[in-house]
């Protein structure tokens, strides 16, 4: 391609650009006005030839604009790009104003300055930013309202739930030492279990709210992973035995300590083990193991349950989502909470599963600093 062809293509590109491209002489008289400028300002090129650039600038900004151009002309700077200066205001033929991003260039020929400016109408960008800002405000207000509602609901619900738990537990204990009709003891046991489930759901809702708002506090300290796993598995051992599931752990006592909040980590482990037991049929197995990997300790909870289809794996940590597997009890918040706790400790969590082959959930947490470090 020769230089003549290149020059023609360049002229055609400038002429048809959707950005406004305007050239002026030293006296700020317009010498070039492309199609983009015609569309942006509403004037034809013929109307604008030889007209002062002030025609395109709101009156209140004209003096300041002339001063800026004079200072730019007196400088040795050849260009000022979009984003290097504040936005400018343009004035259309119909009298409406609009914001624009601008870049400016100058050349000197035979002692005379000539200027070119490229203008981009950012009205739509401003509108989008305003709408986005309003949306953010609305979302924040909605989160605050949700958290306030959760606080009220949890307080108002927990009082009667706790009352039911205490009364049901008292009846169950009375049935162990006194002669009560079997149906009364049975109903009291059902009430106690239902109240405990309700209390757990309320706690899950509060935990999710705290995690999302960054208000869930963590108190990490060096602790042995063996102790955390032992605590979680002992808590779930009765449920596993009742379900006919063998619950085991394979954690070496020589593992380094981890830097975690013990209560929150037991909560995370308990959620994972509970899920594994829930979705493992009688005769199956759930195993918890941990191993060191550099500066982290990786924990895995593996089951021989029904598994999760590959198409559903990307949703397992979503709030309120539950797999189509059997036993769809709970609110679908357990894995969301586990992920939040793990991330709050600077760790990561992932899941592997195949239908009919079981599920493995892995997470990593930082090991505690060595005493001799």
Other beta carbons within 10 Å of 45:
15
Rounded Cα–Cα distance for residues 169 and 175 (Å): 10
Residues 193 and 247 reside in one and the same domain: no
- Domain assignment of residue 109, yes or no: yes
Final residue before a domain boundary, out of 78, 105, 121: 121
**CATH code, domain carrying 65:** 3.30.450.20
* Span 33-56, pLDDT tens digits: 999 999 999 999 999 999 999 999
Q: Is the per-residue pLDDT at 373 higher than 50? A: no
Long-range contacts of 272-276 (CB under 8 A, 24+ apart): 272/301, 272/338, 272/361, 273/232, 273/233, 273/236, 273/240, 273/247, 273/301, 274/236, 274/239, 274/334, 275/334, 275/335, 275/361, 276/301, 276/302, 276/303, 276/305, 276/359, 276/361
User: What's this model's pTM, rounded to 2 decimal places?
Assistant: 0.55
**CATH code, domain carrying 155:** 1.10.287
Domain that holds residue 19: 3-121
- Domain assignment of residue 156, yes or no: yes
Residues 59 and 9 reside in one and the same domain: yes
Residues 198 and 237 reside in one and the same domain: no
3-state SS of the chain: helix, strand, coil percent to 5? 50, 25, 25
Query: Quick one: pLDDT at residue 154?
Result: 67
Final residue before a domain boundary, out of 69, 103, 121: 121
Instruction: Please give the tally of structural domains in the chain.
Output: 3
* Span 121-170, pLDDT tens digits: 999 988 998 889 888 888 888 777 767 776 676 667 767 777 887 888 88
Name the pLDDT band for 217 (thresholds 50, 70, 90).
Answer: confident
């Amino acid at each position: 391609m020769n230089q003549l062809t290149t020059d023609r293509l360049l002229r055609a590109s400038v002429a048809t650009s959707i950005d406004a491209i305007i050239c002026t002489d030293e006296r700020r008289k317009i010498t070039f006005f492309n199609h983009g400028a015609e569309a942006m300002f509403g004037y034809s090129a013929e109307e604008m030839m030889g007209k002062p650039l002030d025609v395109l600038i709101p009156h209140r900004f004209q003096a300041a604009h002339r001063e800026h151009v004079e200072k730019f002309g007196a400088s040795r700077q050849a260009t000022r790009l979009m984003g290097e200066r504040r936005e400018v205001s343009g004035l259309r033929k119909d009298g409406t104003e609009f914001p624009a991003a601008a870049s400016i260039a100058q050349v000197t020929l035979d002692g005379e300055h000539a200027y070119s400016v490229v203008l981009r109408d950012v009205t739509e960008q401003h509108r989008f930013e305003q709408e986005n800002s309003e949306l953010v405000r609305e979302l924040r207000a909605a989160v605050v309202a949700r958290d306030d509602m959760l606080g009220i609901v949890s307080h108002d619900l927990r009082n009667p739930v706790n009352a039911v738990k205490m009364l049901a537990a008292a009846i169950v204990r009375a049935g162990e030492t006194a002669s009560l009709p079997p149906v009364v003891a049975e109903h009291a046991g059902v009430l106690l279990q239902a109240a405990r489930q309700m209390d757990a759901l309320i706690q899950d809702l509060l935990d999710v709210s705290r995690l999302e708002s960054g208000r869930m506090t963590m108190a990490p300290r060096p602790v042995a992973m063996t102790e955390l796993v032992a605590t979680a598995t002992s808590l779930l051992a009765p449920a596993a035995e009742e379900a006919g599931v063998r619950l085991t752990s394979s954690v070496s006592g020589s593992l380094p300590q981890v830097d975690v909040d013990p209560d929150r980590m037991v909560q995370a482990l308990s959620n994972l083990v509970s899920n594994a037991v829930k979705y493992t049929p009688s005769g199956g197995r759930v195993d918890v193991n941990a191993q060191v990997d550099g500066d982290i300790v990786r924990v895995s909870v593996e089951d021989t349950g029904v598994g999760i289809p590959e198409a559903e794996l990307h949703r397992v940590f979503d709030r309120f989502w539950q797999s189509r597997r059997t036993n769809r009890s709970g609110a679908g918040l357990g894995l969301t909470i586990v992920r939040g706790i793990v991330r709050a400790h600077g760790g990561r969590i992932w899941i592997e599963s195949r239908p009919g082959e079981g599920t493995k959930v892995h997470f990593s947490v930082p090991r505690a600093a060595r005493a001799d470090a």
